[in-house]
Amino acid sequence: MTDRAALLPGTLELLILRAVSLGKLHGYGILLRIEQISNGALLIEQGALYPALYRLERDEFLATEWGTSENNRRAKFYSLTPAGRKKLRAETDSWRSTARAMAAALGLQPAGA
């Protein structure tokens, strides 16, 4: 197995929002989608996924509905609400500037690049 980066605190929720922004998914699907879009570079604690999902649902960034999974089982599907979409945009912007600032500070990249 390749080296995987542990998640920074707070990033799991951003990843979930990003994963769901491409279409509604059930819990395991979200896990797979995150692995896929991060090219398997991020390590997700599977147990921590669900509490994060519930938190997002409680705060009304995610909507849920029951549907059928690919193996014909009842499954709970998550999708973005308008508020979730807005949050995703805002968080992505702030993440981008943080990452750039961190990179600049650590001398990995000239500032403003």
Cα–Cα distance for residue pair 23/111, rounded to 1 Å: 35
The yes or no reply on residue 46 touching another protein (CB under 8 A) is: yes
Taken in order 39, 40, 41, 43, the sign of the CA dihedral is positive
Pairing of strands 42-43, 5-6: parallel
Indicate whether 54 belongs to the interface with another protein (CB under 8 A).
yes
Give the pair of three-digit tokens for residue 82.
């308008």
Which residue from 51, 83, 86, 109 is in contact with another protein, where contact means CB under 8 A?
51
60 binds another protein (CB under 8 A): yes
Do 78 and 63 touch, CB atoms closer than 8 A? yes
Query: Should residue 73 be labelled a site residue for another protein when binding is judged by CB under 8 A?
Result: yes
Q: Does the protein bind another protein through residue 35 (CB under 8 A)? A: no
* Interaction of residue 74 with another protein, rule CB under 8 A: yes
**Cβ–Cβ under 8 Å, residues 20 and 78:** yes
User: Which of 69, 94, 97, 98 is the binder for another protein (CB under 8 A)?
Assistant: 69
The contact set with another protein (CB under 8 A) reads 26-28, 31, 45-48, 50-51, 54-55, 58, 60, 69, 71, 73-76
